[in-house]
Structure 1
């Protein structure tokens, strides 16, 4: 009797690892690290960038050459500093086109800045952080400013707490099991206390960052909802505590909450009953 042995079949699902791509993937990781480091600064020379990324200067210079060939980074001969290139802007604009809130919300943000006299911010929820994606600066000489792309912890951010207040119970429970980092003397690090504050935020429709991230700065925020009734973004007014006084919080809270509702409506969003 002839025995026929069937060839062993590889389970479907994850593709077979191609070891020849390992070096390419490592280079890509390093190049992305360079872009991220440059995005955090207004310009770095080769030595500074090498130290920031932990890469040897020769490797950093080689990868910079590749990125520069695609206009993702630019080099200033006068200062010998590298910075983000024009092609990175074009790529970033694709994110703006995909997220209609950035365009639809801008007029309402400008109006809110003019009414309150304070800087207005828009941030999106990303995992357990908020990422600032748009800002309308006020005209005051002393004002709050966030770098676009800057991330903040949810529990120490006005927008972050507004989003936490609308988070599904299972997701919120998962967050509250994580360590809550203390950033200032006023940062709420006790899970039970934070949970109580989130209940209050949910009832009134707006939140306050009372010098919990930066001493001397206050922020009033509200959530923006998408078409599914999910709080996926938020807006805020931020400024020094000397101007955003406790006496102004109720008025600012209502103004921010109403503006957030307008933006939600503009993008087809709504708060679920």
Structure 2
């Protein structure tokens, strides 16, 4: 095994692919659907599923026709959150921002070409936006992701992104040149902005939290599109820039990198 090209264990790789598919699915998936999505031989797929069920990483539906994520997958996911030293401070920052602005706010981390939501503070108002912890979205389709991509050089951002940019709505930027221009605007103004690029009816303002260089984490505020005026964007951005800077200062002071 060389350092440049580590050899991957096929069975482990396939197991992780199955778990990631089930984790991203909206509900349980049938074996037929998993076979179609993975292309794994049916015999190998059945063996892997039986093992995962026995280990309680996945579980069967009551009628036995489909499988979904099991309780041990939750234990593994929450362990990641529990050991992250930045999250208690980030959660407090979300509470302060939510109280000031009255909108749902999120904290997320760049993970390759995606962002993963690590914390959410929801407003109690009916207009709230819900995004569960653990949710993963393409970085190019979110203000959170664009705030973090803008922390990279254009070349670094380009190398991180896939060749084909998936559209989540008709408003998602799927052209690399258009995205490059959007990231330049983000760098210039200091925050990212998107309008209905991943959820219809909602816009978002996001700011990177620069306790690491380049920043890996960001905070965002979801705003109903009808309220996303220039004045409201300015108000939200000012609060978030202040809170992101304060959070970064606190994390560095705590020795968290």
1:34 aligned to which of 18, 36, 40 = 18
* Cα distance between partner residues in 1 of 2:152 and 2:106: 20
- Cα displacement (A) at 1:45: 4.0
State whether structure 2 residue 181 is matched by structure 1 residue 189: no
Which residue among 222, 226, 232 is the counterpart of 2:216? 232
Deviates more, 1:85-94 or 1:74-83: 74-83
1: CA distance between counterparts of 2:160 and 2:68?
A: 36
**C-alpha displacement at 1:149, in angstroms?**
3.9
Distance 2:174 2:236 in 1: 22
Paired residues of 1:128 and 1:175 also in contact (CA < 8 A): yes
Correspondent of 2:186 among 201, 207, 214 = 201
The 1:48–1:129 alpha-carbon spacing in structure 2 relative to 1, beyond 3 Å, is: closer
Measured against aligned partners, the alpha-carbon deviations of 1:112-142 in whole angstroms (never above 9, x if no partner) come to 2233222211121123332323222222334
User: Which of the numbers 66, 72, 83 marks the counterpart of 1:87?
Assistant: 72
CA distance in 1 between partners of 2:98 and 2:44 (Å): 45
The separation in 1 between residues aligned to 2:161 and 2:22, in whole angstroms, is: 33
Give the corresponding residue for 2:101: 116
Provide Cα deviations, 1:83-104, integer angstroms capped at 9, x if missing partner: 2222222222332244322232
Aligned pairs for 1:77-226 (under 5 A) are 77=62, 81-168=66-153, 170-172=155-157, 174=159, 184-185=170-171, 187=173, 189=175, 191=177, 194-195=179-180, 197-226=182-211
SS at match of 1:130: strand
* TM-score computed with the length of structure 2 as normaliser: 0.78
TM-score, scaled relative to structure 1: 0.74
Structure 2 counterparts to residues 9-28 of structure 1, below 5 A:
14=2, 25-28=9-12
In the alignment, the residues of structure 1 paired with residue 55 and residue 130 of structure 2 have an alpha-carbon distance, to the nearest angstrom, of 31
Shift of 1:224: 0.8
Q: Name the SS for the 1:74 alignment partner.
A: strand
Gaps of 5+ in 1: 1-12, 16-20
Q: Is the 8 A contact 1:184 1:215 kept in 2?
A: no
Alpha-carbon spacing, 1:120–1:154, altered in 2? closer, same or farther (3 Å): same
Superposed CA RMSD in Å reads: 3.4
The corresponding residue for 1:259 is: 243
Conserved? CA contact 1:110–1:136, under 8 Å: yes
Bigger drift between 144-153 and 157-166 goes to 144-153
Structure 2 unaligned blocks of 5 or more: none
How many residues align? The count is 250
Which secondary structure does the structure 2 equivalent of 1:267 belong to? helix
Worse-superposed segment, 40-49 or 216-225 = 40-49
Q: Which protein is bigger by CA-based radius of gyration?
A: 1
Matched, 1:242 2:229: no
